[in-house]
Amino acid sequence: MYDFTACIVTYNTERDELKKIIECFQKVELRFKLWISDNSEKDDLKEFIEKFSDDRIEYIFNNSNDGFGSGHNVVVKKLLEDGIKSEFHLMVNADVVFEKNTIEKIVSYMRKNTDIGQIGPKILEYDGRLSRSCRLFPTPINLIFRRFLPVKLIVEKLDYNYEMKWYDYEKVIDVPILSGCFIFVRMDVLEEIGGFDERYFMYMEDYDLCRRIGKKWRTVFYPEAEIIHKHGKASYRSRKMMMLHMNSAIKYFNKWGWFFDKERKIKNKECMRKYKK
């Protein structure tokens, strides 16, 4: 049985970027298996992965790009169908790096707190700035309508609670939403909820996963562990990515509720009551 399994979904990913995160995994002193789930048009990465000569790392060529969540579900399904036993599972972006003992800290904390379904570390930008990775459940105003608001002050006011700008990121807290760049979950939880909802091609699949996990288990931000993430915000630079983000946001609200979402109201209020100063 593995202490944890992990998956990185790639799509024309830079090799230098992938090399850095694979080397991070190779420093981990736990029993693990890492899959590279490749959504690219060609299997050019296969030879590159094989050069690591590490039987803990396996390459899967999907021969199609059915989305970020689908790429991860390929590995989740493999784990379940092949009877590969693992205590935890990590779904991580290729543009993440972490220091030695980071995952060990997370595993240790999860083992001591068995009611946690998903955990997220503190995330820093490459320049050392804090990435505000915790969120409340979003409203349509937070995700869609703010893009069309011309007044910056109004947008900032709308984002203040949603992005939890009142939180100092120094203590362990329960949160509604964690960043999708580093999703660390208990494997039996992932098996029960069934992985990602593949209706989301890209964006919002992590929000949806958090909501489903949070119905029965704790979702916890754990600042004792830190990672570094490039954090590109592609949807703010590309019209194509922006449209993908919008499309996924519409699917999210169609599923969970636009303006009438009782769970959103209760959980957001509870989080602010407990932690907002």
Q: Which residues of 193-221 are buried (b: 16+ CB within 10 A; e: fewer)?
A: bebbbeebbbbbbbbbbbbbbbeebebbb
If one counts every other C-beta atom within 10 angstroms of the C-beta of residue 274, the result is 9
- Max avg pLDDT among 13-17, 86-90, 142-146: 86-90
**Cα 7 from Cα 58, distance rounded (Å):** 10
Structural tokens at position 102: 């980071």
> What SS3 class is residue 161?
helix
- Strands 218-229, 116-124: pairing is parallel
- What's the average model confidence in pLDDT over 221-236? 78
Domain segments of the chain as ranges: 2-275
Query: What pLDDT is attached to residue 110?
Result: 97
pLDDT tens per residue, range 162-201: 999 999 999 999 999 999 999 999 999 999 998 998 998 8
Domain 2-275 has CATH 3.40.50.11540: no
Q: Sign of dihedral through CA atoms 192, 117, 101, 127?
A: positive
Instruction: Label residue 228 by pLDDT band (50, 70, 90).
Output: very high
Instruction: Judge contact between 134 and 234, C-beta under 8 A.
Output: no
Percent of the chain surpassing pLDDT 90:
70
Query: What pLDDT is attached to residue 214?
Result: 95
On the question of pLDDT at 30 being above 50, the answer is yes
On the question of pLDDT at 146 being above 80, the answer is no
Instruction: Label residue 151 by pLDDT band (50, 70, 90).
Output: low
17 CB contacts (<8 Å, ≥6 apart)?
94, 95, 230
pLDDT tens per residue, range 38-89: 999 888 899 999 988 899 999 999 988 888 999 999 999 999 999 999 999 9
Classify burial at 131, counting beta carbons within 10 Å of its beta carbon; exposed 0-12, middle 13-18, buried 19 or more: middle
On the question of pLDDT at 150 being above 60, the answer is no
Classify burial at 259, counting beta carbons within 10 Å of its beta carbon; exposed 0-12, middle 13-18, buried 19 or more: exposed
- Lowest mean pLDDT: which of 104-108, 223-227, 256-260? 256-260
Query: What is the pTM (predicted TM-score) of this model?
Result: 0.91
pLDDT tens per residue, range 117-137: 999 999 999 888 999 999 999
Find, among 198, 191, 206, 188, the residue nearest to 77 by Cα: 191
Q: How many residues in total does the chain contain?
A: 277
Q: Which residue has the tokens 């570390």?
A: 121
